[in-house]
Amino acid sequence: MRTLIRGGTVVTATGSSAADVLIDGETVAALLDPAHTGSFAGLADRSIDATGKYVIPGGIDVHTHLDMPFGGTFSADDFETGTRAAAWGGTTSLVDFAVQPKGGSLRETLDTWHAKAGGKASIDYGFHMIVSDVSEQSLKEMDILVGEGVTSFKMFMAYPGVFYATDGEILQAMQRAASSGATIMMHAENGIAIDVLVAQALASGHTDPGWHGRTRPPELEAEATARAIRLAQVTGAPLYIVHLSARQALEAVTQARDEGRNVFAETCPQYLYLSQDDLDAPEFEGSKYVCSPPVRPKDHWAHLWRGLRTNDLSIVSTDHCPFCFKEQKEMGRGDFSKIPNGMPGIEHRVDLLHQGVVDGELSLARWVEVNSTTPARMFGLYPRKGTIAPGSDADIVVYDPALRHVLSADTHHMAVDYSAYEGREVQGGAAVVMSRGEILVSDGRWHGQAGRGKFLPRGECQYLR
Ligand code: URP
Ligand code: ZN
Ligand code: ZN
């Protein structure tokens, strides 16, 4: 099957140009000068009209939690509903977190996550591995996983008793990563100090969701970020700070990058658009916005947008970890520390970031870079993914910059009963979404199939100095 996408503006991380895209089977065959496309038109079996639209590489969300056990429940989207919702929003690949249970083997955990995704995912997917139990065995298994295309390992400085790792354990895992070419991803919050603040708040009768934010202050994110950076420096491991939320943590990352270190960071739409005011919403509504690190006061937003422009923040991922308001967030009524941490967003990342273009925060090329190209290069998927070039997978979104739509639980495709952005109007939306040359979404209809998504073995981070 040959497809021609005609009349659009191709936007990549390096800029925009009027070009037509010829797709042959699963990959891009050529970018054509529209003046000469006529002579190729007969080659195509079908043509997609992209007049007035952007033609961009499909989004890559490198931080999702589908079908993830957390706090006695599971995230509400599995690989079928989550990947479908992602595709509706213009995301055509994701990298999800497999979670090592305490005492469990990394190798067996990877098999469990392969089983969760296989037969269900409609877009391509890779895995990071959460290392929650550092032992001789799991350190050895890290090397095995790298050989199987799992080249990044997440560790936690938060959640004592659950995922928390000591500095010594982190150091050992970083040494292992340094020797095998893997990246350490860090949840950087000082969980030991936070747990004291949480206990004190609860003892004083502060049980509402707003206290989730107040007991996880930015300084404890900044302290852990700086500590992780120094541990990485000692070991030589590349470090990727996940879900960075606070100005003070960004300062630590900026300093490390100015020192020339292999330190990278992502933020998420919730930290660019939501705030402590949302956590303070009455009637337990604030629980909808409970995630860690917490959404911050609004004055952090401008610093994060600046970080995205200067590349001190390289990627925007979602940290999609949805829990239903009615049955799951409810577990923390009367005790904010029992509210399952996480919020939905897999479907809206591309549009919310495009809003940054509309608002003058990001250029078009930078939008594509943080949405697709850098995620691909950071996690060893480029140039198969993350660009539109001959030989690349034809993961392509025809994006209508003029489309206006309102985000709502009534219309979204995520299997969760609320939207963190309920009623927010955004400008821009995916009109056609293709994965490896196959149309998943067009004309407002779903054409994809559960199980067509393929596992993506990944290489090393492509930014290492
Ligand atoms: O609150 C969050 N972020 N939930 C998902 C787990 C994690 O720490 O990324
Ligand atoms: Zn985390
Ligand atoms: Zn996460």
Per residue, what are the HEC states of 207-224? CCCHHHHHCCCHHHHHHH
Q: Say what the pLDDT of residue 428 is.
A: 98
Cα 441 to Cα 431: distance, rounded to the nearest angstrom: 7
- Indicate if ligand 1 lies below 6 Å from the C-beta of 62: no
**Cα dihedral 334→337→339→344 (10° resolution):** 140
Q: Which residues contact 199 (CB under 8 A, 6 or more apart)?
A: none
Q: How far is CA 23 from CA 3, 32, 53, 93, in A?
A: 5, 11, 18, 18
Check if the beta carbon of residue 140 is closer than 8 Å to that of residue 179: no
Do the beta carbons of residue 361 and residue 453 sit within 8 Å?
no
Q: Which atom of ligand 1 is nearest to the CA of 163?
A: 8
The answer to whether the CB of 292 is under 6 A from ligand 1 is: yes
293 alpha carbon, closest ligand? 1
Question: What is the phi/psi pair of residue 439, to 5°?
Answer: -80, 120
Q: Give distance in angstroms: CA of 129 to centre of ligand 3.
A: 12
For residue 454, which phi and psi values (nearest 5 degrees)? -115, 150
Pocket test for ligand 1, best of 221, 291, 338 (most atoms within 8 A of CB): 291
Query: Which ligand sits closest to the CA of 344?
Result: 1
By alpha-carbon position, which residue is closest to atom 9 of ligand 1? 319
- pLDDT values of the chain reduced to their tens digit, one per residue, 465 residues: 999 999 999 999 999 999 999 999 999 999 999 999 887 778 899 999 999 999 999 999 999 999 999 878 999 999 999 999 999 999 999 999 999 999 999 999 999 999 999 999 999 999 999 999 999 999 999 999 999 999 999 999 999 999 999 999 999 999 999 999 999 999 999 999 999 999 999 999 999 999 999 999 999 999 999 999 999 999 999 999 999 999 999 999 999 999 999 999 999 999 999 999 999 999 999 999 999 999 999 999 999 999 999 999 999 999 999 999 999 999 999 999 999 999 999 999 999 999 999 999 999 999 999 999 999 999 999 999 999 999 999 999 999 999 999 999 999 999 999 999 999 999 999 999 999 999 999 999 999 999 999 999 999 999 998
Q: Which of 100, 341, 343 to mutate to test the pocket of ligand 1 (most atoms within 8 A of CB)?
A: 341
Residue 40, pLDDT score = 78
Rounded to the nearest angstrom, the distance between the alpha carbon of 243 and the centre of ligand 3 is 7
SS3 for 291-352 is: CCCCCCCHHHHHHHHHHHHHCCCCEECCCECCCCCCCCHHHHCCCHHHCCCCECCCCCHHHH
Name which of 277, 430, 292, 422 is nearest 353 in CA terms.
Answer: 430
**pLDDT number for residue 465:** 86
Nearest residue to 413 via CA among 330, 340, 351: 351
CA–centroid distance, 243 to ligand 2, in Å, is 7
